[in-house]
Amino acid sequence: MGAVTRPGIAGLTWSALQVLTSGGMDMMELGRTGTRVSRLALGAMQMGGATSEADAIRILDRYVGAGGSFLDTADCYEWWRRVGSRGGESEELLGRWMRAGNRRDQVFLATKGSAVPEYSPALWDADGNPDWDLARRTFAGAGADTLRHALDASLRRLGTDHVDLYYVHVDDLSTPLEETLEALAGLVSAGKVRYLGWSNVRTWRLERIRQLCERHGWPAPVALQQQHSYLRPKAGNAAAGIVGPEQWEYLRLHRDLQLVAYSPILKGIYDDPAKRSGHWMMESYEGPDVDARLAVLGEVAAEVGATPNRTVLAWLLHQTDPSVIPLIGPKTPEQLDDLLPALDIKLDAGQLARLEAAGA
């Protein structure tokens, strides 16, 4: 898809804006689309929920000021923060921020659909804690009408006529893929979506999706948003949303599918051994491989004068086979400030080789 002209800064096209915003953060091509985005993406999941509006605006302004352009949200963010919420708070906040500064055409905007659970008072207990088991059983899914209505609602909240990237947030095994893909193709044809993506999906499903798109002439996904970090998932890990060896190899062979890595620093556990101990995020990684990886990470971090969290981000930014776009989700402006220096960390070939080879 070529350059799209949208109302914005002096009527500039997205391609022209890419040139203007590439002075700070490095830019890279998204898959094989020809569209360039910043190497570091910013997740807005907590904005409007755990992160106050004032802090969210500071984070967004600092990220864009540093040359960032790739914003990520979803229609379900953050329903679990408030009893009775139906999600959408993050999208609404981003919409206000973009309107206030006429910023829509300064950013590459991604959102997601399919993961809002069916409303029920039982989604929260008496203390306001979410029931994730119930939520996962009642996700909206990726039916054609569901996605069309979900996207229209997202566009209203975001205050825009299109998003640059639209993901199926949670792979829906109960809806025929043909139904989902034909509906998504219609959203692209209508100009409401530029590119498509998928998240939390197994490799065999990705291949099936790509085959169906090729057969029917539907637009194929160009982005895969999965959990990916320096620690490797333990043997037998069954999570569909974590990149394992098979999926990594698939991405190496299909370079038109861009990996966008969520939770790249695993909630910040690399900097804090006490936080790692018993943290739920570690359940997918525990084992002898972890200690070996962390030991080498600590050595390299000391050599480059950086924290382990920053070094992990730098390692991800150095990946080329395949390339990775880390998706950070700072809760506070201070957390963003702590992570941005990772952009300037240079790892030499020897350090990269040691980091890659580390493990049990």
Active-site positions read 77
Question: Of 259, 147, 225, 140, which is closest to residue 192 (Cα–Cα)?
Answer: 147
Question: Of 329, 336, 291, 315, which is closest to residue 71 (Cα–Cα)?
Answer: 329
Question: Of 103, 100, 102, 112, which is closest to residue 43 (Cα–Cα)?
Answer: 112
Question: Of 211, 198, 203, which is closest to residue 172 (Cα–Cα)?
Answer: 198
Question: Of 262, 264, 263, 282, which is closest to residue 274 (Cα–Cα)?
Answer: 282
CA gap 196, 30 in Å, rounded: 12
CA gap 241, 286 in Å, rounded: 17
Residues with Cβ within 8 Å of 302's Cβ and at least 6 positions away in sequence, in order, are: none
Handedness of CA 251, 188, 200, 325 (dihedral sign): positive
CA gap 104, 158 in Å, rounded: 9
Helix count (H) and strand count (E) of the chain?
A: 13, 10
CB 342 within 8 A of CB 310: yes
Q: What angle do CA 136, 140, 144 make, to 5 degrees?
A: 145
Q: 245-253 and 203-216 helices cross at what angle (nearest 10)?
A: 30
Question: Of 284, 288, 290, 304, which is closest to residue 352 (Cα–Cα)?
Answer: 304
